Structure formats: C-alpha cells, structure tokens
Chain A
Amino acid sequence: MTAERLLVAGHDAAALDERAWRDVRGREVGLVLQDALSSLDPLRTVGAEVAEPLRVHTRLDRASTDRRVLEQLAAVGIPDPERRVDQHPHELSGGLRQRALIATALIADPPLLIADEPTTALDVTVQRQILDLLERLKSEGRGLLLVSHDLAVVARIADRIAVMDDGRIVEHGPADRVLRAPEHAVTRALLEAVPRGRRATARGAAAERGTAGGGTDTTSPSASVGVPLVRVSGVTKRYRERGGRTRDALAGVSVDLDAGETLGIVGESGSGKSTLARVVLGVLQPDDGTVELRGGPWSALTDRRRRDQRRTFGLVPQDPLAALDPRHTVRQVLNESRGGVRLRRRDHDEELARLLAEVGLGAEHLDRRPAELSGGQRQRVAIARALAGDPAVLVCDEPVSALDVRAQARILALLTTVQRARSLAVLLVSHDLAVVREVCDRVAVVRDGLIVEHGPVEAIFTAPQHPYTRALLAATPRLPGDEDEAEIAPVPTEEPTTGARR
C-alpha cells in the first residue's frame, strides 16, 4: 500500500517511525477485527487483554487499571464484568467476546475506531446488538471506520460509504446517496447481488399450500392429499457432550417436503438445522422418529439398502472445497455420482459436458481439480455432481454462505433455474433470511432443535407469529430500499450462548 500522505490525528503518519506509531496505535486508533475468539489472545484473561493498552500507554497503578477495565467492560454492555475479567475468551459467548474485543480497542480512548468485519462471524441477533453498540459509540462522537463486505451492515450505521474494487475506491459519497443512487457499476452490482427476498412469486401457488402454524407439528395439509416426497416425523437427534450430558440437536421435529417445492430451514448456528438436513440425507441416524421417502421407510433402512435409493437426494454443500476430493478432477467427481453406467468415452464426455453446461461451466473444466477453480465454480461442480444422479430432492446446506456476494447471487439464481427446469424438491438450510425468502416456498424456523414457526414464505416474513421469528427478522440488516417492509419491533432475546454452552 502506498499513500501520498496519511494523516492520523494531525500527525503525518508517513513520517512516523515504529516507536511513534506505537503511540498512535491504541491511543489514537483502536482496532476491532472479525473474530474475537482468535483476535483476543486465547491464553490470557479478558481482563489482561482489555488492560493491555493501558499498560502500554499509561502509567496507571494496578488498582486504577482494574477499575478502568471494569468500567470499560460495563460500558460496552458486558453484564457482570467482575466475573468476566477473570475469564478467558473461549468462556464467553460470541457476542460478549466481540464486546470484550471492542473494549480492548476503546480503553485507551482513541478518537477513531477501525472495525474490520466486526460482525461477520456472528449470528444475526448478536450482529444486531453489536451494530447497536457501534452505532452508540459513533453517536458519542467517535470516528468509526467500518470495513465490511455486507452492504446492509454498512448501510445501517455509516454516514459515508466508499466502495472499493481491485484496490481502488470506485465510489465515495454520503451513505444515502450511494445506496439509493449508485453511480459506479461495481456498487450497482453489489447492491443487486444483495438478496432482498423480493422474488416474483411465480410459484405462489405452491406457497399457498402450506399453512402458518406454530409448534412442532408442521405436517403440511397437502400430506393428506398425496404422500409427501419426504416426511420427517418426530425426529430427535441427541449428542453426547463431554461430561456425559446429552443435548438434543433435534427435539421431535416433523416436517414434510413435497415434490417440486422449496422448503427453507432457517435458524442460527447451533439450532439444529444442519443436523436436520443430514438426517434427511440419511447420513445421520435419528435417535427417535422416522424419515419416510415416498411413503416408504428411509431412516429405518439399513445403510446398504438405503444406498440404492440415495440417488433420490443430491447434496449441495456449504463449502465445496471441503466437499470435493482435492485429488479428483471434475471428471472424476462427476463420474463418482453416475454409478456404474459405462458409456463410450465420447458419449460419456458429451454427457458430462451437458451436465456442466447446465450449471454454467464448460467442458474445459473437466480436467481441473477443485483447487484450480474459483469458489463459485466449485459450487457449480458440486451442484453438477448433485444433479448427475438425477435426484428428486436437492438438499442445500448453506449453499452460498461460503461465497462472496456476487457469486452468491449467481449460485442462487442457478439453483432456482435448476429447480424449475427439473422440478426438484429443494430443502434449503440457511442462516440467511434474505436467501430463504428469495428462493423458498415454505419456511420452517428452527431454534434449539425445535421448529418454532412454519408456513408459507410470505406469511412468515410479513406476519411472523413467534417472538423468535420476529426477533430474527428485526435483527436482519436491511438496505434502505427495503424498509418499506413492515418494521417489526425487535423482541429482546437473551443472547444465544454459543460460546459458553456448558
């Protein structure tokens, strides 16, 4: 990075030597990074970490340092700071950790705070709280430089926005103007790529079939008409935690999936949504309850018997890099899912090329390995693999969360196209409400292993019944253009204790 001139608090930073820089760091500029679990020294107590800038920049005695630390922890909204100072970062929940990290940046009272993706690793409800905190700090007169990939997050607090592309600021202006009237193509592309959940409801009819309802019994009424493609009834999955206790990742979940419909499973991390997907896929055995496929047994089958029917399901993974064997070429990957059908090489290649074309890749990708592909291309390969067996159900487990915004939009569009073209049933697991809203017909909101609310997508998003759904919706950052939605009052929720479940 080069700069003609970098002024920090009136000093010409280019002229600063290492020692002078150290005076600036922490005192003039505070830094908050993405993931507090790794951005705080995991081997030291929260108190020691928060006190460090004071030790560096001031000559406070121990007692006043301790007092300042407690004050600061309280100021960033950490309850019971006396207890927290002696704990280590891993003992705190994600939100508290992030607050503690913010406290380390603030304690020497720098006028400028740099926050680099401060909420990227957090659940939406926690994200909301952290953003509230940052907003409060800003309103107290502190400068805030917020770096984020998420326009919606930036839109929430920023006064001015600078859009960067390829190391250059391509657009810079007041937040309102940039978001409402973007001038640069990159900005427009970014804005368009943000999923808004305002899809034309072409399949509104399908959505109508579901009904809103709370509780765990969410069997759709269409079940009585015909046999659903997949029926999950009363599924419980227990995990043994260290120390002998058990935890229900799923606690009696029932849900149906009809042919050709898209069902979204929404929840925060640890809610059990991925477990549900894996139970449906038949890679996890439920401890209780059953999964039926086309009215016949599925979870009750032995693994060997299930194998013949596995082609009914295709899996679109969260992280295609992990889900593709690094040693295999795309050709090998696709062959793996095609079973024992032997074709002449030419026909075979043609078929693979057709498959790749369907997901927007060319035949030239056949001999590449996952490491040689971009994230979006890998996910396309994974989708092609899922489609190769001609499945009836596509299980998408956070299919776009590992991708950048623009690739996200393209992969979502691809999934929708494929779903329509092949009239697949899709089970889409996501933490991202906007993604679910954009793609799904019906939604089930999962929390702590239970489906708390379930219904057609529009009903859930416009008239959520359950307080948790409302809290989730309220916490989701929105672009200003989307505020025409009925603003739903946030319901205070206790912070999920993802970090310190014990």
Chain B
Amino acid sequence: MRPGTARAVLLRLLAGLGVMWGAATLTFIALQLVQGDQVAGVLGTNSLATPAVRAQVIHEYGFDQPVLVQYLHWLGRLVTGDLGRSYQLNTPVTQALSGQIWPTAQLAGAATLIAVVVSVVVAVLTTGRGRRVRSAASGAELVAVSVPAFWIGLIALTYLSFKWHLLPGAGATGLSGLLLPAAVLSIPLTGILSQVLREGLDEALRQPFAISVRARGVGPTALVARHALRHALASLATLVGWMVGSLFGGAVLIETVFARPGLGRVLLSAVTSRDLPVVSAVVLLVAGVFVVVNVVVDLLYLRIDPRLRTPRSA
C-alpha cells in the first residue's frame, strides 16, 4: 500500500469515527428530548410505581445528573461497547440485537447480489443501443425505482405464495424463504444500479478514448468489457451511501410485510414503545455499517481509478 493510500484510509477512518461520534451525539440529544418519557419507558406499563420507585429509577439511570455528565457517561459506555439495557425487554441491548443482525444481513446481502447481477447484465445489454431499447430500459427502471417495494411485496406475497403456492409465504425461513423478500427488496436497487451503470457506460463510450480503442481494431464487446465497464463501475461508488440506506429502510418494511425476524422489526417495536437504548443502538449500528462500507468502497475506488492514487495531477 502506498503511503498516500494509507494516509487516505486513515483519514477516512478518522472521518468515519467522527460520523459515529456525531450519530452517538444525535441519539443522545434524542434521548434528552424525550427524557420524561424515558422514566416511563423504564417503568413500562407498571404505572403503579410509587414516587420512591420513580426516584430510584431516575437515580439508577443517572437522569438526575448534569447533562454533560450524562453525555460523557453515555459516550464512555459506548466506547466500551456497552449500549445500555433495553427498557422494554430489560435485557442488554447487545443481546437484544445480536440475534437480529444476521437475518437482516442475509436479506440485504441477497438483495444486493441480485441487484448487482441483474443490473450489470441489463446495463451491458442496453448500452449503445438504439433509442427504443434505451427508453424501454429507462422506463422500466423508472417504474422499478418509483413503485413502493413493500407494496410489490404484498402483491407478490398474495399471488406467488398464497394463491399460486410457488414460493413459501410469510414467516418462512431458509433459502427459499429468503428468495422472495430479497428479490422484492432488490427491485429499486436494480433500477437505480442499472440506470447508473448504463449511463456510466454510455459516458465512457462517448469519451475520445473509445474512438482510439476502436481505431486499434478492438470490437465493441471488448471495448465495453475491457475499458468502459471499469469506468462505469467507478460511478457506482457514490451510490453506496444510498444503497446502505435503501437496503436498511427497505428491510424494515420488507421484514414487516413478510413477517421476518430482523433489525427492522426490533427497531419498529422499539420506536413504538420509545425504547431509546435499542433505537440508538440501531442508529449506531447503521452508521457504523455506512462508514465501513464507504471506506471499503473508497479503497476499491482507489484501485479502479489510478488518478486518485497520485496526490496531484495537472
């Protein structure tokens, strides 16, 4: 690894830490804003609690300390990996979440895989084609991106699972149970990826170097495969932030539609019951994933585009 690259990685990681800190602060502020409810959250529906019990809870959770102290405690606990206890489940948050991460990761991973494969195929097949092919493709992409995926999920569930019994229905586990939700979740992703890839390819093919390459006797397929695709991949990097968010947001809804376990469902019940430690843990987790994925993509990007490796060029 060149020193420049190492420095870039370090900088990005630092910046990532900054984002994590920001996210932690944000959730702390949210916690403060609903502090009154927090006590109720801890006490749960047990509204018969005496003022003494209330006071004890306030003291135990440190709600009576100055805000700054609470903030520092909060940060200190986070650094040591202690995300607090869920008010609702009365278990450590880490424990409440740990079992839920894998199903969501599975879902998101499968959806990404489907989206990448389909979109690369579609983009390569539709680039440099006539206007009809292009407008058909971009129309399809527009629909894929626009139509709410969770609604498609509902429809698909009705017909594919319940009416035609082609696929296992809601609540199913295993690979076959993963297929439908992942496919549905991948729809908007596929739409956007293929659109961006195709435009990237088109853009690359419009570059003067495409003419040079053709003038060397290279055929159109080899031009796309050897030259243009790499340029188009570079344009995907910016999408990553969007993809992380899209997958997560989509997963929350898709998990609800398909009654799958996962972070989405935990988050929803936490939001409903104002179980802030769980909400903030999810926030930090998602921000962390975002940061890591972005750093990885940045590194990939450095590999793809050599111009980024040299500190300066003309």
Contact = CB atoms under 8 A, between A and B. Distances in A.
Do the two chains touch directly in the complex (Cβ atoms below 8 Å apart)? yes
Interface of A: 18-19, 22-27, 29-31, 33-35, 38-45, 52-53, 56-57, 88, 90-91, 101, 104-105, 108, 241-243, 498-502
B34 interface: no
B215 A88 contact: no
Given A40-B212, A44-B227, A91 B217 contact: no
B312 A26 contact: no
Contacts of A18: 219
Interface in B259-310: 304-307, 310
Contacts of B214: 25
B306 A104 contact: no
B311 A242 contact: yes
Contacts of B211: 31, 33, 39
Nearest to A40: B209
B310 to A, nearest CB: 6
A126 to B, nearest CB: 13
Contacts of B213: 41, 52
B85 interface: no
A109 to B, nearest CB: 13
Given A33-B211, A39-B208, A40-B212, A22 B218 contact: yes
A264 B93 CA distance: 73
B212 A104 contact: yes
Interface residues of B, number: 26
B12 interface: no
B218 A52 contact: yes
Nearest to B227: A41
A91 B313 contact: yes
B310 A43 contact: no
B215 A26 contact: yes
B310 A502 contact: yes
B54 interface: no
Contact of B312 (A25, A43, A243): A243
Contact of A22 (B219, B230, B313): B219
Interface in B100-134: none
Contact of B216 (A19, A38, A53, A243): A53
B216 A25 contact: yes
A43 B302 CA distance: 11
A27 B215 CA distance: 9
Given A25-B217, A33-B211, A53-B216, 17 more contacts: A25-B214, A26-B216, A26-B218, A30-B215, A31-B211, A38-B207, A38-B209, A41-B212, A41-B213, A43-B234, A52-B213, A52-B218, A104-B216, A105-B215, A498-B314, A499-B313, A502-B311
Nearest to A88: B306
B215 A43 contact: no
B68 to A, nearest CB: 36
